[in-house]
Amino acid sequence: MRHGRHAAIGVFDSGVGGLTVLKAIMDRLPLESTVYLGDTARVPYGTKSGEVVTRYSLANAHALFEYDIKALVVACNTASAVALPALERELPIPVIGVIIPGAEAAAKVTRTGKVAVIGTPGTIASGAYQAALKVAAPSMEVHTRACPLFVPLAEEGWTEGDVPRLVAEKYLGAGLLDGDVDTLVLGCTHYPLLSSIIQAVVGPRVTLVDSAIATAERLATVLRERDLERLEPTPVERHYLVTDTPARFLEVGARFLGQPLSGARQIDLHVK
């Protein structure tokens, strides 16, 4: 049956970043096949308007739906922040974004009830993390900051040393963590690659929350609740689709996935 238990998990992102979410899914649900779509022709989403990111997200989702998927994970924080309601309306399968799982994980971790969130300009401006954190814990105090330079640093592989440290000091200083903030949500696909330097800058009293791990956990729960999880080991398939030529995706993506990528296919999207 199409879109049933034996179908794959669809995952999309603006580019390579969502491979950090795919990695968490592969670790948490090793029996599940996956189809990953990186919209490498249109990346970045983090600096674009909500309206445009929603149109791109719908095109990604419809392309993946053709691949017989049983659930869709919106790995991109920016797309999750602005396009989730539209995606849920249009797709007849469960759609899981990264924002609510990340916010719920942060609400569990914080002892002081004061949480900071970092993400792209689009994610922070949308207010989606702020809203999800308030739902998870109404008395929560939320501080936010956009950290756009972390994205190219992670893609360049500049994750250690003076340059990322100085950038992190600049972004994570000046009030973001004032007044007992004890939890920092990494609200962007790229930031887990910079977690060592971010942790070094914020110090040990602040716990980092990686939305990718929380999202994989949420996906596992949704599949179980809907009787959609694969129960026996069947051959696992990994498909990678991209909208630009694949060379850079394969090179940079291997670092995000933590293992070599075995080929990606270029497709065209029908963006309305």
Secondary structure in 3-state letters for 209-224? EEHHHHHHHHHHHHHH
Beta bridge partners of 72: 10, 95
Query: Looking at beta carbons only, is 12 or 228 nearer to ligand DGL?
Result: 12
Q: Please give the backbone phi and psi of residue 35, each rounded to the nearest 5 degrees, phi first.
A: -125, 120
Query: What is the full DSSP assignment across 163-207?
Result: HHHHHHHHHH-TTTTTTT--EEEEESTTGGGGHHHHHHHH-TTSE
Regarding 215 and contact with ligand DGL (CB under 6 A), the answer is no
Which of these is catalytic: 76, 95, 228, 252?
A: 76
CA–CA separation, 160 vs 204, rounded Å? 18
Is 188 an active-site residue?
yes
Task: Please choose, out of 26-34, 65-73, 86-94, 182-190, the segment that lies near ligand DGL by the rule CB under 6 A.
Answer: 182-190
Residue matched to tokens 């990953």? 36
Task: Please choose, out of 37-45, 59-67, 215-223, 235-243, the segment that lies near ligand DGL by the rule CB under 6 A.
Answer: 37-45
Nearest distance from residue 15's CB to ligand DGL, in Å?
A: 6
The single residue among 8, 64, 74, 76 that binds ligand DGL, judged by CB under 6 A, is 76
Which of these is catalytic: 107, 188, 198, 264?
A: 188
Helix (H) or strand (E) holding 79: helix 77-90
Regarding 188 and contact with ligand DGL (CB under 6 A), the answer is yes
Regarding 78 and contact with ligand DGL (CB under 6 A), the answer is yes
Residues catalogued as catalytic: 76, 188
Question: Residues interacting with ligand DGL, by CB under 6 A?
Answer: 13-15, 17, 43-46, 76-78, 120, 123, 151, 188-190
